[in-house]
Amino acid sequence: MDLEGNYINVLAVSSVRVFRPTDSTNQLEIYNVLSADLAEQRLHYAKKSIKTGSLQIYEQIFVFENEQRYEEVRITPLNDREVLTIIRDITDQYIGQN
């Protein structure tokens, strides 16, 4: 992802559902994928990662197809304008706690 929120490449294993805009004219960009608050949070950590040159880790709650999912997000800088974002579903950890 670049610092404007444009996804350059999205990779997923076959067992993972990945949200993609249904309208093919939409660019795959952060505000088409995430709610405004989650998008702003992601951009904040992306900028912080580049500024500090370090890995940023945080958790978020993401609603996908009316299902609440817990995710761990890891962001690391690739260069001065792009980051690698890895998202891991940790919902099972939260369900097991209840």
Are residues 59 and 41 in contact, defined by beta-carbon separation less than 8 angstroms? no
Per-residue pLDDT of the chain (98 residues; tens, 9 = 90+): 999 999 888 776 655 555 554 445 456 889 988 899 999 999 999 999 999 999 999 999 988 788 899 999 999 999 999 999 999 999 988 886 65
Classify domain 1-98 by CATH architecture. 2-Layer Sandwich (3.30)
Q: Which of 97, 89, 95, 76 has its CA nearest to residue 1?
A: 76
Kindly report the backbone phi and psi dihedral angles of residue 62, in degrees, each rounded to the nearest multiple of 5, phi listed first. -125, 130
d(CA 35, CA 13): 23
Count, residues in the chain:
98
CB 86 within 8 A of CB 55: no
**pLDDT value of position 59:** 97
Structure confidence at residue 33 (pLDDT): 84
Q: Where are the domains of the chain?
A: 1-98
Instruction: Output the pLDDT for position 77.
Output: 98
**Other CB atoms within 10 Å distance of the CB of residue 47:** 15
**Residue 25: what pLDDT?**
47
pTM for the structure as a whole:
0.81
